[in-house]
Amino acid sequence: MQETKPIIESDNFIVLANYEKLPKNSTSYQSEKDLENEFIKDLETQGYERVSFLNLDEMKANLKTQIERLNGVKFSQSEWERFLYEYLDKQNDTFIDATRKIQIDHQHSFKFDNEKLENIKIIDKKEIHKNYLQVVNQISQTGTHQNRYDVSILVNGLPLVHIELKKRGVSLNEAFNQIHRYTKESFNSQNSLYKYAQIFVISNGTFTRYFANTAARNKNNYEFTCEWADAKNRAISDLKDFTATFFQKKVLLEILTKYCVFNSSNELLIMRPYQIAASERILRKIEIGYKNKKFGSVEAGGFVWHTTGSGKTLTSFKTSNLATKLDFIDKVLFVVDRKDLDYQTKKEYESFQKNSINGSVNTKELKKNLEKSDDKIVVTTIQKLNEFIKQNKNHEIYDKHCVLIFDECHRSQFGEAQKNITKHFKKYYQFGFTGTPIFVDNALGTQTTAGVFGTQLHSYVITDAIRDEKVLKFKVDYINLSPKFKDIEKEQNLDELKKYENKLLLHPERISEVVSHILKVYDTKTHRNEIYNIKDKRLKGFNAMFAVQSVEAAKIYYTELKKQIDELKDDKKLKIATIFSFSQNETQSAKGEILDEKFDLNLMDLSSKEFLDEVIKEYNAEFRTNFSTDSKGFEGYYENLSKRVKDKEIDLLIVVGMFLTGFDAPTLNTLFVDKNLRYHGLLQAFSRTNRILNSVKTFGNIVCFRDLEEATKESIRVFGDENSLNVILEKSYEEYINGYADDGVEFKGFKALCDEMLTKFPDPTNIIFDSDKKEFAQLFGEILKTENILKNYDEFSTFESPIDERFMQDLKSAYIEIKDEVYKNKNSDLVLENTKEKVDFSDVTFEIELLKTDEINLDYILALILEKTQQNEDPNIIKSDIKRMIRSSLDVRAKESLIMEFLEKQDIKKLKEKSEILESFYTFAKGKKDKEIKNLIENENLQNNISSPKKLIESAIKKGFVDENGTWIDEIMPVVSRRGGERQKKKLGILEKIKKIVEIFVGI
**pLDDT by residue (tens digit) across 620-647?**
999 999 999 887 889 899 989 999 999 9
Lowest mean pLDDT among 114-118, 231-235, 264-268: 264-268
Question: What DSSP string runs through 213-227?
Answer: --S-GGG-SGGG-B-
Locate CATH 3.90.1570.50 in the chain.
32-270
| Confidence at residue 867, expressed as pLDDT on a 0 to 100 scale | 87
Which alpha helices (DSSP H) does 761-804 contain, by range? 770-790
Residues in CB range of 351: below 8 A, 6 or more apart: 262, 263, 264
Q: What is the mean pLDDT of residues 878-894?
A: 87
Spatial CA neighbour of 314 closest among 285, 343, 284, 278: 278
Q: What is the mean pLDDT of residues 185-192?
A: 78
**8 A C-beta contact, residue 809 and residue 885:** yes
Give per-residue pLDDT as tens, 553-570.
999 999 999 999 999 998
Locate CATH 3.40.50.300 in the chain.
273-460, 473-727
Label residue 416 by pLDDT band (50, 70, 90): confident
Q: What is the mean pLDDT of residues 480-499?
A: 58
Label residue 372 by pLDDT band (50, 70, 90): confident
| Confidence at residue 101, expressed as pLDDT on a 0 to 100 scale | 94
CATH number of 736-852: 1.20.58.2040
Secondary structure of 523-584 in HEC code, one letter for each residue:
HHHCCCCEEEEECCEEEECCEEEEEECCHHHHHHHHHHHHHHHHCCCHHHCCCEEEECCCCC
Give per-residue pLDDT as tens, 227-242.
999 999 999 999 999 9
| Confidence at residue 343, expressed as pLDDT on a 0 to 100 scale | 53
| Confidence at residue 512, expressed as pLDDT on a 0 to 100 scale | 95
Give per-residue pLDDT as tens, 149-178.
899 999 999 999 999 999 888 888 888 888
**8 A C-beta contact, residue 964 and residue 926:** no
Parallel, antiparallel or unpaired: strands 140-142 and 158-165: unpaired
**8 A C-beta contact, residue 219 and residue 311:** no
Lowest mean pLDDT among 284-293, 499-508, 692-701: 499-508
Distances, alpha carbon 893 to alpha carbons 473, 534, 625, 882, in Å: 34, 22, 40, 11
Is residue 474 scored above 80 in pLDDT?
A: yes
Q: Which CATH number fits domain 473-727: 1.10.3720.10, 3.40.50.2300, 3.10.310.30, 3.40.50.300?
A: 3.40.50.300
The alpha carbon of residue 79 and the mean position of all alpha carbons in its chain are separated, in whole angstroms, by 43
Give per-residue pLDDT as tens, 956-978.
888 777 876 667 787 888 888 87
Distance CA 239, CA 504 (A): 61
For the chain, the straight-line distance linking the first and the last C-alpha, in angstroms and rounded, comes to: 60
Query: If you classify domain 32-270 with CATH, what class do you get?
Result: alpha beta
**241 vs 823, which has greater pLDDT?**
241
Residue 545 backbone dihedrals phi, psi, to 5 degrees: -125, 150
Distance CA 724, CA 718 (A): 9
Return the half-sphere exposure (C-beta side, CA atoms, 13 A cut-off) of residue 443.
14
Label residue 259 by pLDDT band (50, 70, 90): very high
| Confidence at residue 6, expressed as pLDDT on a 0 to 100 scale | 40
**461 vs 92, which has greater pLDDT?**
461
Checking phi first, is residue 47 left (phi over 0); if not, alpha (psi -120 to 50) or beta? Answer: left
Label residue 931 by pLDDT band (50, 70, 90): very high
Q: What is the mean pLDDT of residues 41-55?
A: 93
Is residue 815 scored above 90 in pLDDT?
A: yes
Residues in CB range of 311: below 8 A, 6 or more apart: 271, 272, 275, 470
| Confidence at residue 200, expressed as pLDDT on a 0 to 100 scale | 95
SS3 content of the chain, % helix, strand, coil (to 5): 50, 15, 35
Is residue 345 scored above 70 in pLDDT?
A: no
**8 A C-beta contact, residue 275 and residue 311:** yes
Length of the chain: 1004
| Confidence at residue 440, expressed as pLDDT on a 0 to 100 scale | 76
Distance CA 957, CA 668 (A): 28
| Confidence at residue 340, expressed as pLDDT on a 0 to 100 scale | 60
Share of the chain above pLDDT 70, in %: 87
Q: Give the range with max mean pLDDT: 116-130, 203-217, 373-387, 395-409.
A: 116-130
Label residue 483 by pLDDT band (50, 70, 90): low
> H or E element: which one contains 229?
strand 228-229
The alpha carbon of residue 69 and the mean position of all alpha carbons in its chain are separated, in whole angstroms, by 39
Label residue 121 by pLDDT band (50, 70, 90): very high
Q: How many helices (H) and strands (E) does the chain have?
A: 34, 32
| Confidence at residue 8, expressed as pLDDT on a 0 to 100 scale | 40
Q: What is the mean pLDDT of residues 434-446?
A: 76
Is residue 256 scored above 90 in pLDDT?
A: yes
Q: What is the mean pLDDT of residues 580-601?
A: 63
Question: What DSSP string runs through 578-622?
Answer: EE------PPPSBTT--PPPPS--TTS-HHHHHHHHHHHHHHHHH
Label residue 451 by pLDDT band (50, 70, 90): confident
Q: Which CATH number fits domain 273-460: 3.40.718.10, 3.10.110.10, 3.40.50.300, 3.90.1150.10?
A: 3.40.50.300
Label residue 792 by pLDDT band (50, 70, 90): confident
Sign (positive or negative) of CA dihedral 823, 828, 829, 830: negative
Is residue 586 scored above 80 in pLDDT?
A: no
Label residue 9 by pLDDT band (50, 70, 90): very low
| Confidence at residue 497, expressed as pLDDT on a 0 to 100 scale | 57
**25 vs 225, which has greater pLDDT?**
225
Range list of β-strands (E), 132-198: 133-137, 140-142, 146-148, 151-155, 158-165
Label residue 753 by pLDDT band (50, 70, 90): very high
DSSP conformation class of 84: I
| Confidence at residue 162, expressed as pLDDT on a 0 to 100 scale | 96
Q: What is the mean pLDDT of the chain?
A: 86
Locate CATH 1.20.58.2040 in the chain.
736-852
Residue 426 backbone dihedrals phi, psi, to 5 degrees: -90, -30
